[in-house]
């Protein structure tokens, strides 16, 4: 059971959503790249003070590790009013990219909701939604691994535990979102593995494997 790929992974303030057939090696690569990029951006900038430059540094690190940025650009800020839960909003956003990513996001969020330590960790690391990231993954027809990064800020009058699943009323909360779409070049990543292993040894960062419920 535990050798199966989980529905997703939570590390720091990053929620990675995994499609069903994602091999464990690709899952580890996604997680390791996410951890290193988060660390690099956190060392350079305050994530809660200026999300724009923080995200730019985050993406630069991913590109150094072998990810290419779609059309060379991070999308501009968009703002959406939340009616319902943030989880529901994220599922709809993933479906606009790819229907299978939407289904994978449902599995990931269901697994997160049932994992109370992971929910508490996300609340703490994101300051109850002030800054968090969601990253659905998918393969294209050529077998290339793609990652969509949603960098999100919750703007609300109140703070809520389990903010991801709170039923926000219309007009009570907004999400400010930036996004980036990236594709992995495994050959470049392979040349970085020794460096990555050295950097990862110096890191202490929680990682929750979000497993589908039986």
Contact 139, 184 (CB under 8 A): no
SS3 letters across 52-107: HHHHHHHHHHHHHCCEEEHHHCCCCCEEEECCECHHHHHHHHHHHHCHHHHHHHHH
pLDDT in tens, 158-189: 999 999 999 998 778 999 999 999 999 999 99
Average pLDDT, the chain: 90
Contact 66, 192 (CB under 8 A): yes
CATH number of 8-210: 3.40.198
Q: Which of 11, 24, 4 is nearest to 211 (CA)?
A: 4
How do the domains of the chain map onto residue ranges?
8-210
Q: Which of 185, 165, 180, 196 is nearest to 31 (CA)?
A: 196
pLDDT in tens, 43-80: 999 999 888 899 999 999 999 999 999 988 898 788 89
């Amino acid at each position: 059971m535990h050798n199966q790929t989980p529905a997703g992974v939570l590390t720091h303030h990053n929620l990675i959503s995994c499609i069903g057939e994602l091999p464990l090696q690709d899952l580890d690569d996604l997680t390791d790249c996410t951890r290193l990029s988060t660390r690099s951006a956190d060392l350079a900038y305050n994530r809660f003070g200026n999300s724009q430059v923080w995200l730019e540094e985050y993406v630069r690190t991913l590109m150094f590790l072998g990810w290419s940025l779609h059309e060379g650009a991070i999308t501009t800020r968009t703002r959406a009013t939340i009616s319902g839960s943030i989880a529901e909003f994220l599922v709809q956003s993933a479906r606009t990219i790819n229907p299978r990513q939407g289904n994978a996001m449902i599995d990931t969020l269901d697994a997160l909701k049932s994992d109370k330590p992971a929910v508490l960790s996300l609340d703490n690391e994101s300051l109850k939604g002030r800054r968090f990231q969601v990253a659905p993954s998918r393969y294209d027809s050529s077998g290339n691994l793609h990652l969509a990064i949603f960098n999100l800020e919750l703007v609300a009058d109140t703070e809520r535990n389990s903010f991801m699943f709170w039923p926000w009323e219309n007009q009570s909360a907004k999400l400010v979102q930036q996004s980036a779409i990236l594709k992995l070049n495994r050959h470049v990543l392979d040349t970085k593995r020794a460096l990555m292993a050295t950097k990862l040894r110096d890191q202490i960062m929680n990682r929750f494997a979000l497993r589908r419920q039986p």
